[in-house]
């Protein structure tokens, strides 16, 4: 059985309110470990207005796992990242969430944000990369990639905290 205790690190109150990890757990399935859980997401009025005006927002989720060592740097076990694009289609009055070639249409902003924050049983580690005798560290992070915004907005995003969304790293230990 896989045990995971989530140790949430302190984050600024405003950032934590907008992008908060509510649950993260590694679940064994077949020859992989899947990341289950996700983030609660709330957009600032600036981001919500931009979304409704047609700006596509790219969010990045990152998962890392390593094995700490006393005598050397930690051994990397897995580094996974995925980009999720959220947009609003004004003609259809639907939100669209794109991950790779998959496109999902959702009727409400609440549904779109829930789907955006969900890990959806993301395969992150092959079980053969782990040994039962070691304790491992896992980390997750999610942020709005402002470098993917349209060029005129990138400067505004760089200069203003209203565009900043970053959960920061959240760590926990696990043993397979």
- The model's pTM is 0.84
Asked if the model's pLDDT at residue 6 lies above 90, the reply is no
* Whole-number pLDDT of residue 10: 34
- Taking the C-alpha atoms of residue 47 and residue 174, their distance in angstroms, rounded to an integer, is 36
**Arithmetic mean of pLDDT, 40-52:** 93
CB of 40 closer than 8 Å to CB of 117? yes
Per residue in 64-96, pLDDT tens?
Answer: 999 987 788 888 999 999 999 999 999 999 999
Determine the pLDDT at residue 36: 97
What are the residue ranges of helices labelled H in 8-150? 13-18, 45-52, 109-117
Q: Which value, to the nearest 10 degrees, does the dihedral of the CA atoms of residues 105, 107, 113, 114 take? A: -90
Q: Are 140 and 61 in contact (CB under 8 A)?
A: yes
- Nearest residue to 65 (alpha-carbon basis) of 4, 11, 133, 145: 4
Among the residues of the chain, which ranges form H helices? 13-18, 45-52, 109-117, 151-159
Q: Give the tens place of pLDDT for each residue, 110-135.
A: 999 999 999 999 999 999 999 999 99
Confidence at residue 162, expressed as pLDDT on a 0 to 100 scale? 63
In this predicted structure, what is the pLDDT of residue 9? 34
Question: In the beta sheet, which residues pair with residue 108?
Answer: none
Distance (Å, rounded) from C-alpha 131 to C-alpha 147?
A: 38
Looking at residues 97-103, what average pLDDT do you find? 93
């Amino acid at each position: 059985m896989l045990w995971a205790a989530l140790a949430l690190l302190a984050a600024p109150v405003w950032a934590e309110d907008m992008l908060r990890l509510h649950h993260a757990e590694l679940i064994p399935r077949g020859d992989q470990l899947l990341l289950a859980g996700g983030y609660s997401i709330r957009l600032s009025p600036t981001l919500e207005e931009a979304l409704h005006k047609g700006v596509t927002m790219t969010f990045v989720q990152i998962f890392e796992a390593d094995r700490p060592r006393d005598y050397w740097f930690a051994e990397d076990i897995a580094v996974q990242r995925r980009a999720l694009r959220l947009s609003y289609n004004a003609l259809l009055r639907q939100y669209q969430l794109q991950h790779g070639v998959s496109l999902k249409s959702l009727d409400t902003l609440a549904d779109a944000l829930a789907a955006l924050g969900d890990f959806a049983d993301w395969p992150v580690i092959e079980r053969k990369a782990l040994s039962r005798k070691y304790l491992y560290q896992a980390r997750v992070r999610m942020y709005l990639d402002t470098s993917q915004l349209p060029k005129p907005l990138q400067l505004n995003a760089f200069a203003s905290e209203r565009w900043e969304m970053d959960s920061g790293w959240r760590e926990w230990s696990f043993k397979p």
